[in-house]
Amino acid sequence: MKTNCTDEGRSYSPQAAKYFESTNQLFVWNCLDECRYNCMWRTVKGFQERGYQIPKFHGKWPFKRIFGVQEPASAFSSFLNLAVHVYMHVEITRLFPVDDRPIVLFWHFFAAVCMNAWVWSMIFHVKDNPFTEFMDYSCALSMVMIMYAAAIIRVFHKKRKTAALILFVSLLYYIAHVRYLYSENVDYDYNMMVNVFFGTVGSLIWTAWAGREYLAGRRYTWRVGAFAVLSGAALALELLDFPPKLDAWDAHALWHLSTVPLPLLFYRFVIDDLQYTQGMEKGDLKLT
């Protein structure tokens, strides 16, 4: 039966036309998208009626859209992460406005990279397409690597040439990997390994340094140590894989949700560390 719902010369069923006319043109859901979405849920229903395990579609679990948002739980959790980073950046800006000190400039840049990554994470989970996927993956790696870079800069600041060489090589690798992500033949397991590698190295550096500094009397460093350990624990959720609860909350969404409070720890450390280094410059080392 022909309908008025067409896409590139194709015509679709009345049910697809109904969904297309009533939902979500804001996020560019066209007729073909609607057909795929409804066929997916008919397939899921068939599997459930037969007692089979819910299948994945193109490597993803099926999610119920809400107001046109493709993965509502992950998008909501990404928004919460973004909100926390914005809140803490405002706090850093209040205490340490942008000036000519390199370390202050770096932390503002750090916050900008993280906020950008969470914006693209939210956009990707709202509507998945090749461009939003590329931006999410490349910006997610940028956040992992800026945390790694922060560890190199803070811990090895007295060995500037060595730190600069490590960071330069890492930047070249990041550029090469982003070019790879832009290609059509991405190995997603390899991309995950890259993120885990740089995330793990950065966490190990932060944890070892925090332990040493804490024992030396700089008690505030426990926050960055706790951040590194809890971030690693939260990552375990991403490595799990199970069908979404309530058709929305899968392991990935829960991972994003579990990371929401962690920036509060990290940025509090940044503020304390800036106050400590400022005190060193003035000869006042009261902060512990």
Rounded mean pLDDT, 14-27: 53
Cβ(21)–Cβ(10) below 8 Å:
no
Share of the chain above pLDDT 90, in %: 44
Q: Which residue has the higher pLDDT, 142 or 60?
A: 142
Identify which has the larger pLDDT, 89 or 60: 89
Cα distances from 268 to residues 85, 93, 110, 205, in angstroms, run 11, 13, 14, 18
**Which pTM does this prediction carry?**
0.81
Kindly tell me the sign of the dihedral angle through the C-alpha atoms of 278, 229, 134, 132.
negative
Confidence label for 6 from pLDDT (cuts 50, 70 and 90): very low
Buried b (16+ CB within 10 A) or exposed e, 212-234: ebbeeebebbebbbbbbebbeeb
* Beta carbons within 8 Å of 114's beta carbon, 6+ residues apart: 85, 143, 146, 263
Contact 105, 98 (CB under 8 A): yes
Q: What is the pLDDT of residue 72?
A: 86
Distance CA(155)–CA(40), nearest Å, equals: 50
Average pLDDT over residues 6-35: 55
Strands (E), the chain: 6-7, 10-11
Model confidence band, residue 234 (pLDDT cutoffs 50, 70, 90)? confident
pLDDT of amino acid 24: 53
Query: Which position has the higher pLDDT, 271 or 28?
Result: 271
Q: Read off the tokens for 172.
A: 């070249």
Most confident of 2-16, 19-33, 119-133, 260-274: 260-274
